[in-house]
Structure 1
Amino acid sequence: MRWAGEVNPSLDALGLSPIRVAEPPPSLGVVLPVLDSTAERLRHLESAILDRLETEGRAVARGMAEYILTCFGSHDPAFLLTPVLVGPVRATAAAAQEGVQEAANMVASRVRRHPRPARRGDSSGPPEQ
């Protein structure tokens, strides 16, 4: 029974139904269907985790893209989105990427899973995830 209590919070966080165990089982034969059911749920666990990671990753990527494009647009209202939508120029991409690594690390280090309350009048800074 204790294992169900340890597994259930993880299942719940992934949107899967919890394992219900009302009382200690009288025999191993009674437990086997529960274990089969648990095994089936765990087979779906990887897919659920990957789906959740993809969803959260897209949300973070979107927030960071919005922040970066807002920074450029706020400093230069004539800033064109075409280079962003087209992507890097292959011939100069490696050199350009080297030049932005430090800034990318600085921006990424400011991203938080649990945002702190915004300070009054503070509208700058990256989105906090």
Structure 2
Amino acid sequence: MKNLILILTTIIFFGCKSSVDSDSKQLEQFVLKNKNSIKAAPKNAPKVLSECKPIVTVYPKYPNAQVKNLQEGWVHVEITVGKEGKSPSKIEILDSSPVKVFDQEAIRAVEKWYFAMSKTKEISTCDKVLEFSLIDS
């Protein structure tokens, strides 16, 4: 039941439209039947080594097609921030799985992040892994 609530909350929170809502009963039935076989996104992305610190983060939108297909994944981004902090000056995709499926939504989300000012460096760089997971494992 906890997993079902998480999935339905994810659908509502990430703004999925009526095409997903109309299939919510099918999604609910599929998840109930297959909850033990649906696994979290792969954890083989490199570990995060952070020099810049986000103070405001925005969750990426879960693409409608990937929700309908129960597709999960992750995007590993490198973020460059100037000394003044605020929003990123550069965002680069280092890796993703599946390749290019969640990349644009990850970039759109990170563009809205705000970072703390650096006390020592003119430019700070950090890398983050954004996971797209339908079920909390």
**TM-score, scaled to structure 1:** 0.24
**Higher share of residues assigned helix:** 1
Asked which structure has the greater RCO (Cα within 8 Å, sep 6+), the reply is: 2
Q: Which has the larger radius of gyration?
A: 1
**TM-score, scaled to structure 2:** 0.23
**Higher share of residues assigned strand:** 2
